[in-house]
Structure 1
Amino acid sequence: MTRIMKSAGALVLAGVLLAGCGTGPAEVDSAAIIGKDSVPLAGFQHEITQLIDSKPAAKQVQRQRTMDQAARNLLTIRVQHRIVRDVAAREHLTVDQGFVNRQMSVPGLDKFLETQVLDRAGFAGYQADLSLMMDLARKQADRLTVRADIVGGLDPAQARELAANIARQPGKGGDLMRAASPDAELNQTLRPAEGVPTTVFSGTPGSVLAFPAGGQDARWYVVRVLSRDQGRPSQGQDRLSLDALAGLGRALLVPDAQRIGVRINPRYGAWDDYTLSVVPSGAEKRVLAFPVSAGPGA
């Protein structure tokens, strides 16, 4: 491993102690609430200050007035940690300490961390939880299939409109997709593989998702998830890269995050269900999910 692994859309910090109380945490006293647990507001604010004050290069964050983004990043770390550890306990996943050790020995790591809201212990915790996401992906990749209608190459506005229309008229979903693009692929059986957008595997049957192809790509996908199955292991499953495994693992956490429930103190922003991250209040989410109508044609 010759690079610092930062994928999976969010950092995860190990060693977080989440304090809850019998009547449930109060949002006004919490930076975030995950199920019945809380990230206490006062402690979270103190941690941000300490982390930045301990690293001279990171103080640029304050001068550039991007403290809000730093707080969102660190809060994402906390929430993702809670979710991935909950799933790991249920699925009997274990941290790959060899992977963590390799990541912690990457040349230039200390210089990289000078500008991050993580110290070495926090970054090691992130790598530990990233290894759990990849372990989850490995466990399910060879037996997970999703049947879906999918169309790509759309501009963002076209994708939003198409997804909303399909959700309103699910019985006409195929026709709407074909009208939007001759390259629409209907009733496709998708397995985790290089090139298959991992967001597809975060959707529940009946969901309609619109999302960008990745990176700075302006092209969007629209996907209607018809069914998903975890059957027998397939033969000849493609070997996934570390980035693909991390992305798939994150996508597989989405249903659990929705089940557990996440609320963010409005001073920091809002929770994005599908990227599992804290985003600015009012910002457009990277993955748009449209509820399907139960009316005629559903």
Structure 2
Amino acid sequence: MRIMGRRRALVGVLAGSLLLAGCNAGPGQVGAAVIVDGESVSVDRVQQLIDKAVREHPYGQQLAKEHKLDLVGREIVRQEILHDLTERAAQREGVQVDESLVVAALQNDPLAKPMEAKQQNDPALSVQQLVARVRDHREALVDAALQTQLALKYLDKLTVTFDFSSVSSTDATGSDADKLREQAIEKARRFAASPNAAAEVIQQDQKTSDTQAGTGQKLPAMQSPATAATVLFGLEPNTVAAFQPTPQQPLWVVVVVRERAADKPVASDQPAQPTAQQLAGVGIRLLQPYLDQVDLKVNPRYGVWDVVGMDLAPNEASKKGIVLPVHGATPQNP
């Protein structure tokens, strides 16, 4: 199936994407907000960008009034990390952006207009847009385009085979939501206990009528671009994850990936046409394996890296899930 014209997709990204998208002194270096393989971004630099967001954008001023500038700081650090990973992935994959498209996009810069105080988008998405506007615009646009290029390169090739179980509830609010998360993480730890542990748990779960569970599930990314943007498609074989596919629904999924293939196009019974936002999400998810190749240190004042969300969480308890290796499993060749 033809996804979409690659040039047309990139023009769309360059012209209007990015719709995605106080503790210690520093992680091993005084004044550093984040260090990636020895290259650091300073706390002062992050603060300069926060100040710029408040100075130039009504939305930044609104966040300041609501005492939510910590969200901006975390997103700045997140985008710095993703920038580094994107450059690494693009170099390894031989992915480039047509310079003429960058020049054309900057002539009608989609990031030039200040963000109004009232936003209709999801708050996290709005903060992402705000930070893209206070960054170097060329860098932000190129990052988004490269991430989309990665998605276009692999969306029709990437397939995962996995075993899974679930944890669900009739209520997704308050303490019930916290309990659901704890149950899912506990089940993930049981999955990861040994190479055969997941199969044993799933076998028991299949006897329970209210639990969805199965083995040997094979899912092409093309069949579900939204799912392809989740942690499931970034996992290496013999890795377990617990995550909530849709935060609005009281359902967590616990998976163990058995195979991950991305070497040739695969047939899909129900191919889906990805949206620009889904392509952006898949591109960011394809950066996940590169996290194992870098030495990443984040200043605790900005939180902790959350691989499930490919973002920063305020603390360990706020992470969107958990990723664990299967103990005793035979290492897979990359």
Letter in 1 for 2:68: T
Q: Aligned pair in 2 of structure 1 residues 112, 53: CA closer, same or farther (>3 Å)? A: closer
Q: 1:211 — aligned with what?
A: 243
Stretches of structure 1 lacking an aligned partner (at least 5 in a row):
9-24
Partner of 2:97: 95
C-alpha distance in 1 between matches for 2:84 and 2:142: 13
Q: Which residue of 2 aligns with 1:112?
A: 115
Secondary structure at the aligned position of 1:294 is classed as: coil
The root-mean-square deviation of aligned C-alpha atoms, in Å, is 3.2
Name the counterpart of 2:215.
Answer: 186
1:30 corresponds, among 26, 29, 32, to: 32
Partner of 2:158: 144
Instruction: Give CA deviations for 1:34-79 in whole Å, capped at 9, x if unaligned.
Output: 1121112222222322332233542232222112111111111111
The 3 A distance-change label for structure 1 pair 204 and 171 is same
Specify the code of the residue in structure 2 equivalent to 1:196: T
The answer to whether the 8 Å contact 2:111/2:132 transfers is no
Instruction: Report Cα offsets for 1:180-230 as digits up to 9, x if no partner.
Output: 356322112221022535321111111110101124222111110112123
Change over 3 Å in CA distance of 1:102–1:50 after alignment to 2: closer
SS at match of 2:278: helix
SS in 1 for 2:241: strand
Which letter maps to 1:259? Q
Which deviates the most, 188-197 or 224-233? 188-197
Bigger shift: residues 246-255 or 145-154: 145-154
Note if 1:249 corresponds to 2:252.
no
SS of alignment partner, residue 267 of structure 1: helix
TM-aligned CA distance change 1:275 to 1:57, over 3 Å: closer
Q: What secondary structure, in the 3-state scheme, does the structure 2 residue paired with 1:112 have?
A: coil
Identity %: 26
Question: Alpha-carbon deviations, 1:84-129, whole Å to 9, x = none?
Answer: 0121122121236759967996999825366834437645543431
Aligned length: 279
Over 3 Å counting, the alpha-carbon distance change for 1:45 and 1:159 in structure 2 is same
Q: Structure 1 residues 72, 246: CA separation in 2 closer, same or farther (over 3 Å shift)? A: same
- The gaps in structure 2 that reach 5 residues or longer are 1-11, 22-26, 118-126, 169-179, 330-334
Q: Distance in 1 between matches of 2:160 and 2:46?
A: 39
The answer to whether the Cα contact below 8 Å between 1:147 and 1:228 also exists between their aligned partners in 2 is yes
Task: Report how far residue 148 of structure 1 moved.
Answer: 0.9
| The 10-residue stretch of structure 1 (185-194 or 41-50) with the greater mean CA deviation from structure 2 | 41-50
- Give the structure-1-normalised TM-score: 0.80
| TM-score, with length taken from structure 2 | 0.72
Seen in structure 2, the aligned counterparts of structure 1 residues 150 and 156 have a Cα distance that, compared at 3 Å, is same
Aligned pairs for 1:34-113 within 5 A? 34-95=36-97, 98=101, 110-112=113-115
Separation in 1 of the partners of 2:45 and 2:303?
A: 18
Q: 1:52 to 1:238 in 2, by over 3 A?
A: same
- Pairs within 5 Å for 1:230-241: 230-235=262-267, 238-241=272-275
Which whole-Å CA distance do the structure 1 matches of 2:320 and 2:154 have between them?
25
Contact 1:29 1:41 in 2 (8 A): yes
